[in-house]
């Protein structure tokens, strides 16, 4: 068994470069890290290009035996503890990571879905990851994101999705307004959250809706607000006037779930 000991090894250089978006885009790859998410990747049959294991794992980390048996089926390389600490992107690494091929072969929108979630320049990786996880939890398999939205394959986003990244198709669009107009041609209506309305999200029928989640600081852009078919606000009983983007997204999406369950 060969163990990589040099930071100048080409594989190590490649993994370190994948921390940058331009390289992830160029090679159509991203990195996942940790026992649970690697196990999830195996279960979801994603394209695992390489598995990297810390050779000192028996001393420092605890990788379950069944995971070690599973990763043996893939192209697996071993590195020293020193090298693993050089390439890890987490504070407390678990001694295992993998290079994954992006699931972006098909960039077409599925119009058979009952709702389509779109993100308008959501910047925070943690918010994006949580929204992707929520989208997965309500049974959707796609999300539309603007060019200005954080990169969905950023390591922090990937970690916070808890495996949802493998099941959600990320559809990045250069012109979100044009994309929304195209979606509307398929009998969808545009819904945005706004304080400039008396309508509550509980007054809206969520069937065939495009739900836009806006930027953390500025909300949904003025241009998108202006073409909205319906506006609604999240009722709040306290003095806080706004919510975190991922929290607001969750509340809105779960009103769709409530209505779907009530309809049987």
Residues 173-196: tens digit of each pLDDT: 999 999 999 999 999 999 998 888
Over range 201-226, report the average pLDDT: 94
- Taking only the tens place, the pLDDT of each residue in 28-52 is 999 999 999 999 999 999 999 999 9
pLDDT, greater one: 1 or 120: 120
Residue 193 φ/ψ, nearest 5 degrees:
-85, 140
Q: Hunting for tokens 């990589």 — which residue is that? A: 4
* CATH level 3 topology of 3-101: 60s Ribosomal Protein L30; Chain: A; (3.30.1330)
In 3-state terms, what secondary structure has residue 69? helix
* CA dihedral (218, 221, 222, 228) positive or negative: negative
What is the arrangement of strands in the sheet containing 189-193, beginning at the earlier edge strand? Answer: 169-173, 142-146, 115-119, 209-213, 189-193, 230-232
CATH number of 115-262: 3.40.1280.10
Q: Which helix (H) or strand (E) holds 101?
A: strand 96-101
Alpha helices in 65-205 (DSSP H): 65-71, 81-87, 125-137, 155-161, 176-184
Instruction: Evaluate if residue 62 carries a pLDDT over 90.
Output: no
Comparing 8-22, 55-69, 204-218, the range with the smallest average pLDDT is 55-69
Instruction: Evaluate if residue 108 carries a pLDDT over 80.
Output: yes
Structure tokens at 65: 């035996």
Mean of the per-residue pLDDT values for the chain?
A: 93
For the chain, the structural domain boundaries read 3-101, 115-262
Does pTM surpass 0.85?
Answer: yes
Over range 97-103, report the average pLDDT: 94
pLDDT of residue 241: 78
Instruction: Evaluate if residue 85 carries a pLDDT over 90.
Output: yes
Beta bridge mates, 33: 97
- Taking only the tens place, the pLDDT of each residue in 121-146 is 999 999 999 999 999 999 999 999 99
pLDDT, greater one: 7 or 240: 7
Structure tokens at 13: 């250089």
Same fold, 3-101 and 115-262: no
């Amino acid at each position: 068994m060969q163990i990589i000991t040099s930071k100048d090894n080409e594989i190590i250089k490649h993994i370190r470069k994948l921390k940058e978006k331009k390289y992830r885009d160029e090679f159509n790859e991203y990195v996942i890290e940790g026992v649970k998410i690697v196990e999830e990747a195996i279960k979801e049959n994603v394209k695992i290009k390489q598995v990297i294991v810390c050779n000192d794992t028996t001393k420092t980390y605890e990788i379950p035996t069944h995971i070690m048996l599973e990763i043996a089926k893939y192209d697996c390389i071993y590195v020293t503890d020193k090298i693993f600490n050089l390439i890890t992107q987490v504070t407390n690494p678990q001694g295992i990571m993998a290079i994954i091929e992006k699931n972006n072969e098909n960039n077409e929108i599925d119009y058979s879905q009952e709702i389509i979630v779109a993100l308008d320049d959501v910047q925070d990786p943690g918010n994006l990851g949580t929204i992707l996880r929520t989208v997965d939890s309500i049974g959707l398999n796609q999300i539309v994101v603007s060019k200005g939205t954080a990169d969905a394959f950023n390591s922090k986003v990937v970690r916070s999705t808890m495996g949802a990244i493998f099941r959600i198709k990320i559809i990045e669009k250069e012109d979100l307004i044009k994309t929304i107009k195209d979606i509307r041609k398929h009998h969808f209506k545009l819904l945005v959250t706004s304080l400039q309305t008396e309508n509550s999200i509980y007054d809206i029928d969520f069937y065939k809706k495009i739900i836009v989640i806006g930027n953390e600081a500025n909300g949904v852009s003025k241009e998108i607000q202006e073409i909205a078919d319906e506006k609604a606000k999240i009722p709040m009983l306290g003095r806080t006037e706004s919510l975190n983007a991922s929290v607001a997204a969750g509340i809105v999406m779960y009103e769709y779930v409530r209505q779907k369950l009530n309809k049987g």
